[in-house]
Structure 1
Amino acid sequence: MVTIPQRTTGPRAGAGSGTRRRPARRAAKSPYPYALYIPAAVVYVVIFLIPTVMAFYFSLTRWTLFDSTFVGFENFVDFFSEQNLRIGFQNTIVYAVLTSGLKVVLGMALGVLLTSKLRLRGFLRSVVFFPVLVSTVAVGITFSALLRPDTGLVNKALALVGVSGPDWLGDASTALLSVVIVDVWKGVGLAVVIYIAGILSIPQDYYQAVAADGGTAWHRFRHVTLPLSWPATYSVIILSFIGGLRSFDLIWTMTRGGPGFTSDVIASIIYKQYQAGFFGLSTAGNVILFVVVTAIVVPLSYVLGKREVYS
């Protein structure tokens, strides 16, 4: 029989009448010399902090390559008076919500499929991830040709089954949605990789417990995969939403904000100001975009982070 020694509450014998103080905890020491942080700090300051401070300053000026004139908040007033700014803000939010939502749903579905027991699992993973590696401009040019109303392969394929396809990029009602679908096709591979990593990190004991209770594949997904892959979902939502708010290259390549201003986003409005030579005005637009992205993503990250802690 094993006896457990009882904990004494008083002072130890021979230790004197005073209580022994616990030694103070030492602060955790970094495993690397602080000098190794210097290169990363220099890169961060040069590439991020200095350009950010300069952007805030030049947003208050009318500037060219050789001189600048301080005008205060006049650039911000002019930017908010843009006639297509309301459409740009609306399209930016719609674009970010649709692309991030579809990437979460499709990424989760493909992640579950590509972690199952499939013969061509490795090949299919490569196929799904391949569009991520292709240049965004090349993707935009390619799909612009595929979606042409008369010569595009998409409408030709629809014609074979008796469907008359619309002018995908020339119709105000379908232009932005067409770009959203192409964006999801190109970017869902990254979401799938994140979900695959998250699903494979789930201990198999949970699945075995569900199987022992007679659970079906739906029960395994609903009660194990879905809640325990929340860290992957959190990452996909944040990354996709930030990318959607900042999206420019694919929209500009496929529609240039058209027809009219119907597919303009904030980034394309800013670029049009650069093209027109209003550098201070476009810099103010960049500052506004930075503030908008920060104001949306930081609270969203906080809310989703709390959900991750308590899931």
Structure 2
Amino acid sequence: MTTKTETTTTAVAKVPLQTPAGRPKAKSPYPYWFYLPAAIIYAALFLVPTFASFFFSFTRWTLTDFTFIGFDNFVQFFQEPALLKGLLNTFIYGVVTSTLKVVLGMLLAVMLTSQIIARGYLRSVIFFPVLLSSIGVGIVFTVLMDPRNGMINEALALIGIDGPAWLTDPAWALISVALVDVWKGVGLATVIYIAGIVSIPQEYFEAATMDGASSVKSFFQITLPLARPATATVIVLSLIGGLRSFDLIWAMTKGGPGFTSDVIASVIFKQYQAGFYGLSTAGNVVLFLIVTAIVVPLSSFLNRKEVEQ
């Protein structure tokens, strides 16, 4: 009698619970409410300003009213004589800064992951410029690069080198700002590379050493391929920063002398200062589309190569 009761109770316990209509229980929407704060912040700080910029780029607007004028702002923007120079300078600046950050960041990371004295201190020293204000760095280097009384040219004079007019010579102005940008930003690239190199299993290097591989061969055969994710990250971040750069250039040269160090962002700001708000908004849209058209395919390509590896 006891055995029959236990069997009946077990059979009843195994019957799955169902709704009265025989349908499975609906999933509660409660967890999705936790996405709401992030979605509101994202919409307020990104989606709304982005769509507003696209709308006002087709208008002639002031703080009180606007008039829809179609593509006239874009046509006028591309007819500006400073735009082509600024566009070329933007690409030069982005390529130079991102290339140097990738190369120097990798070399510094290899050095700072080796067995050297004061490794932790050197890591802090290299990363410290990243924490500094771009405007402050620009003002300091403007003084240091003064062609007559700057410390850089005075130091070069001690070894018999006649330093150039870094920020006033049209041939040197853009490159000078780019070098300062690299000095300020290479620390971030180095930290990313250090994280990528440290994550490589040490067994690979030990096996290479046992096989008689040199340090140079280990670098090209182990470190460089396995640090590909870090390389992709540094390239994308550096290129975005280079194409959008404005504050350092404005603090050091304001786009001068003439238009020789102007980039798209500085041209946009000059149009805004002149009161052409619709024209400057159209320039922002152009800059957004250029950065997107370059970075999105490049990021997809680098990530695809990473997966194939």
- Using the size of structure 1 for normalisation, the TM-score is 0.89
Equivalent residue number for residue 227 of structure 1: 225
Instruction: Look up the SS of the partner of 1:33 in the other structure.
Output: helix
Equivalent residue number for residue 32 of structure 2: 34
Answer with 174-183 or 33-42: which moved more.
Answer: 33-42
Aligned: 1:139 with 2:137: yes
The CA deviation string for residues 165-199 of structure 1, in whole angstroms up to 9 with x for no partner, is 11100000000000010000000000000000000
Instruction: Look up the SS of the partner of 2:81 in the other structure.
Output: coil
1:119 Cα offset (Å):
2.4
Equivalent residue number for residue 167 of structure 2: 169
Match of 1:47 among 42, 45, 53: 45
Aligned: 1:83 with 2:75: no
Equivalent residue number for residue 56 of structure 1: 54
Equivalent residue number for residue 206 of structure 1: 204
Equivalent residue number for residue 186 of structure 1: 184
Letter aligned with residue 102 of structure 1: L
Equivalent residue number for residue 71 of structure 1: 69
Letter aligned with residue 263 of structure 2: V
Structure 2 distance, partners of 1:235, 1:292, is 19
Letter aligned with residue 150 of structure 1: R
Structure 2 distance, partners of 1:49, 1:92, is 26
- Using the size of structure 2 for normalisation, the TM-score is 0.89
1:148 Cα offset (Å):
0.5
Task: Report how many residues are paired.
Answer: 282
1:302 Cα offset (Å):
1.6
Equivalent residue number for residue 261 of structure 1: 259
- Aligned 1:255-294 pairs, distance under 5 A: 255-294=253-292
Instruction: Look up the SS of the partner of 2:67 in the other structure.
Output: strand
Q: Which runs of 5+ in 1 are unaligned?
A: 1-28
Query: Identity of aligned pairs, percent?
Result: 63
Structure 2 distance, partners of 1:182, 1:285, is 26
Structure 1 distance, partners of 2:266, 2:167, is 16
The CA deviation string for residues 84-111 of structure 1, in whole angstroms up to 9 with x for no partner, is 1111111000100010000000000000
RMSD: 1.3
Structure 2 distance, partners of 1:109, 1:162, is 29
In terms of fraction of residues, the more helix-rich structure is: 2
Letter aligned with residue 183 of structure 1: D
Letter aligned with residue 283 of structure 1: T
Answer with 181-190 or 211-220: which moved more.
Answer: 211-220
Runs of 4+ in 1 over 4 A off after TM superposition: none
Structure 2 distance, partners of 1:165, 1:214, is 46
Q: Which runs of 5+ in 2 are unaligned?
A: 1-26
Equivalent residue number for residue 95 of structure 1: 93
